[in-house]
Amino acid sequence: MSTLRVRLLLPLLFFLASGCAAAKPQTVEISELKPLPRQVKTTLVINRVLENLHYRKVRLDDDFAEQILTHYLETLDPNRLFFLQSDIDRFRYRAHELDDDLRRGRVDLGFEIFRTYRERVEERVDYALRLLKKGFDFSKDETYRFDREDAPWAKDAAELDEIWRKRVKNDWLSLRLAHKTDGEIRDLLKKRYEGIARRVRQFDSDDVYQVFINAYTESLEPHTGYMSPSTSENFDISMRLSLEGIGAVLRTEGEYTVIQRTIPGGPARQSGQIHSGDRIVGVAQGADGPMEDVVGWRLQDVVDKIRGPKGSVVRLLILPKAAGSDPVTREVLLVRKEIKLEDQAAKRYVLDDLPQFPGVRIGVIEIPAFYRDFRAEALGKRDFRSTTRDVRRLIQQLKKEKIDGLLIDLRGNGGGSLAEATALTGLFIDRGPVVQVKDAFGKREIEEDPEPGVVYEGPLAVLVDRNSASASEIFAGALQDYGRALIIGEPTFGKGTVQTLLRLNRYVPGYGEDLGRMRLTMAEFFRVSGGSTQLRGVTPDILFPTALMDNEHGERSLDNPLPWSAVTPARFTPWPERYDLDWLRARSRARIAKDPGFQMLIQREQLLRELEEQTVVSLQEDRRKIEARRREKILKEARDDYLRDLGIIPVDEESEDVDEEALKKQQDAIDRIQVREAANILADALTQRRSQVRAAQP
């Protein structure tokens, strides 16, 4: 199955912060939805910026116009629940005009399509509300195709009526399985459907323009986007407020707001109850405020509900990723806070209880982000915090603790400062290049290790996963190219591009109105060996079996990503020592086959893969209950068996009086499954290295 495409309509950082959203009008008359003169000028400037500065060269022709139109339709109606085939045919007939229109700054077709979309939404919501007055027979053997991304558009209103009858029935059944009464279900779904129509009615000209232009920019490459003047203002507010919020990056998938990742030091991650892939289905304010259903909401509207002042309480109703289409929800209470630098700082500990390696001590340094206190540095403070400075100090402490090897844990590290990735690499190599950067004009620069000398020369491994991105990939890729470290885990995210934020008014000096801003991809990272980290990421030397189930993730899952490419390798001196990787892989496979922790992770991955491939659910109540119990049993039994094997009493996350300390202990044990095996691999490498030294002695 092809999963529902991800829409990133605003820069990711905006979703982390708190602030005051600009007030939206209650209703915008449909006759007012037409292009503004300012937007003609904005489009002309965007054309010029993309043509001259974007890393991927733009050719605005009929083929590209067809891609823009397709992307726009899928952005508005990703699950094909509103437009009819006749609408699509009418729009596609105009597609060949779109490239010429855009060159002249005209976006009339985008507005025409949106007006039709708004009419179709009104029709569908009206029909859904009529269905709510009736009842449904849940003993009837029917199915509903909930993922319609690849389904044909409905040929007429009658076919769309049948699709919506099943959609409403499925929504009703999901809430019924969550133990809601019929009266509660009617009220909740009435608000949900009316909310869809209300939010579409609130789209003003700037909103429509932003969505349409982003369909244009994202058809070129997924990290380039436009922010309207009002969105730019919200972005500035959020930046000034120092990331006060819950610490989560959000995205839209279909009708759900999904947790893309949690931020180190943020309330979401510290709760231990919110994970990547979970869906937010409700938001409430305060400890006892009413829970508001947010299924079908625009991402920005959900963000506005979640944001708030530091110290205030927000409650989220979470639908776990592993729950599939059934409502096994949990409520999580979070206290909004400012995410400070020290919350994301590197931390250390020692593993000295590996059963197969008595007496071996493996130091572990967790690096949640590549951080640098630029403000303190600019003020001239010599003791400003940075990843490299902290890791240098932690290494010295671990050396005093007589470690035999060092493991750097980069799982979930989404990146950060390029300067820190370069400097951190320099702690483990004497001198040389770390990463190559090529800009839109073909100019190539090489970032070098800023300091000669090596802080740590012993056996080294780096643990990565599918969420290790950007600066993490630069660091891991450089150490792999040098042969300095064993890279262990899952293929990384694959984001090898560089973005900058541009004010469009700088390209039309003296123009009186604000044209907004663009986030523009203007360069690409390349490893010292010549290959890019783009798309492919970094492939570990030793892969964990969870990686084999990673169908689509990271950059590979986005629309129109830049392809992998290569440049001429830089000159560098490889590390002199090499390991027998085949021997290390065989030893790791044998251990993992007997490890109950890894068996739990593998079962979870298999279940998630099954859910991702599912496009249809039963509308028969008994079957849905059986399927939900089956999934819950698989996950719970595998988890509980592993925890009991460690002597830990399992904690139910769904419990109303969950013990937070016990839950944290449980989550730590699960988080360290991969760490312990990476430490075992490093201990194997240490044994191999000692054997090589002995063999070389006369």
Asked if 226 and 213 count as a contact pair (C-beta separation under 8 A), the reply is: yes
Instruction: Give all strands (DSSP E) within 399-516, no chain letters.
Output: 405-409, 433-439, 444-448, 460-464, 486-489, 497-503
- Please indicate whether residue 310 is annotated as part of the active site: no
Write down the catalytic residue from 205, 495, 541, 595. Answer: 495
Strand 517-526 and strand 433-439: pairing? antiparallel
- Integer Cα distance of 575 and 528 in angstroms: 14
> Would you list the DSSP string of 85-128?
HHHHHHHHHTHHHHHHHHHTT--HHHHHHHHHHHHHHHHHHHHH
Q: Which residue has the tokens 């709760």?
A: 271
- Integer Cα distance of 11 and 226 in angstroms: 9
Give the amino acid at 262. Answer: T
For 530, half-sphere exposure in the C-beta direction (CA atoms, 13 angstrom radius) is 5
Write down the catalytic residue from 171, 304, 390, 481. Answer: 481
| Lookup: tokens for 689 | 């290295």
Label residues 561-579 b or e (16+ Cβ within 10 Å = b). bbeeeebeebebeebeeeb
Write down the catalytic residue from 18, 470, 588, 618. Answer: 470
Please name the helix (run of DSSP H) or strand (run of DSSP E) that holds residue 313, with its range, or none: strand 313-319
- Please indicate whether residue 133 is annotated as part of the active site: no
- Integer Cα distance of 333 and 273 in angstroms: 10
Q: How far is CA 446 from CA 388, 434, 526, 572, in A?
A: 19, 7, 9, 12
Strand 248-253 and strand 444-448: pairing? unpaired
Asked if 434 and 417 count as a contact pair (C-beta separation under 8 A), the reply is: no
Q: How far is CA 142 from CA 181, 197, 569, in A?
A: 22, 28, 58
| Lookup: tokens for 254 | 């279909």
| Lookup: tokens for 88 | 């699509």
Q: How far is CA 481 from CA 101, 299, 692, in A?
A: 48, 40, 22
Q: Mark residue 501 as left, alpha or beta (left: phi above 0; alpha: psi -120 to 50; beta: remaining).
A: beta
Query: Closest Cα to residue 681, out of 521, 463, 480?
Result: 463
Asked if 429 and 374 count as a contact pair (C-beta separation under 8 A), the reply is: no
- SS3 of residue 262 by DSSP: strand
Instruction: Give all strands (DSSP E) within 516-659, no chain letters.
Output: 517-526, 542-543, 616-618
| Lookup: tokens for 376 | 């303190």
> Would you list the DSSP string of 364-430?
EEE---B-B-HHHHHTT-TT--BHHHHHHHHHHHHHHTT-SEEEEE-TT---B-HHHHHHHHTTTSS
- SS3 of residue 511 by DSSP: coil
Neighbouring CB atoms inside 10 A of 376's CB total 15
Q: Which residue has the tokens 């009104």?
A: 122
- Report CA 553 to chain centroid distance, whole Å: 9
- Integer Cα distance of 60 and 70 in angstroms: 15
- Please indicate whether residue 481 is annotated as part of the active site: yes
Handedness of CA 246, 251, 253, 254 (dihedral sign): positive
- SS3 of residue 514 by DSSP: coil
- As beta bridge partners, residue 520 has 500
What residues are labeled active site? 470, 481, 495
